[in-house]
């Protein structure tokens, strides 16, 4: 028992289940993926799916999926970076879904700025709206 007395004990904090915080963390992870994609154009993400076999047994299957870029060139040759939630573009400002970067080399600073905005909660309203649209579309498909 003397071993336990040498440790500082405390209660385990509860897991944060704030949906806005989860959306922020997921978007930050995707933005970090885009930064890695700039360095490694053939970047893949591993996804896991539970598959049911013919005999009824379930198994986890891992599959590598290519990461798609969130930037394009416009007609003037500038790079336009956009943010997605699922397959939908996030509207960063009224009617504007893209951020202009003069070249592909300036995309890391654009990504850094977007990560800081997400951490500060500046995109919470847009992310919440995107989730509502996705849920509404899913409800229409179920009917």
Question: Any idea which residue has 């709206």 for tokens?
Answer: 129
Where does the pLDDT of residue 5 fall: very low under 50, low under 70, confident under 90, or very high at 90 and above?
A: confident
Instruction: Give the integer Cα–Cα distance in Å for 22 and 32.
Output: 15
Structure tokens at 129: 């709206």
pLDDT at 118 over 80: yes
Average pLDDT score over residue span 110-114? 95
| Highest mean pLDDT: which range of 7-11, 28-32, 120-124 | 28-32
Strand partners, 105: none
């Amino acid at each position: 028992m003397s071993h336990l007395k040498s440790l500082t004990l405390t209660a385990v904090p509860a897991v944060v289940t704030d949906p806005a915080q989860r959306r922020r963390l997921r978007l930050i992870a995707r933005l970090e993926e885009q930064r890695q994609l700039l360095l490694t154009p053939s970047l893949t993400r591993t996804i896991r799916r539970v598959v049911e076999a013919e005999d009824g047994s379930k198994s986890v299957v891992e599959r590598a999926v290519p990461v798609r870029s969130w930037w394009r060139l416009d007609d003037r040759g500038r790079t336009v970076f956009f943010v997605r939630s699922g397959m939908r573009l996030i509207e960063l400002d009224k009617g504007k879904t893209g951020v202009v970067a003069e070249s592909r080399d300036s995309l890391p600073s654009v990504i850094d700025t977007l990560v800081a905005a997400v951490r500060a909660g500046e995109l919470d309203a847009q992310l919440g709206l995107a989730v509502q649209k996705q849920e509404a579309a899913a409800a229409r498909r179920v009917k």
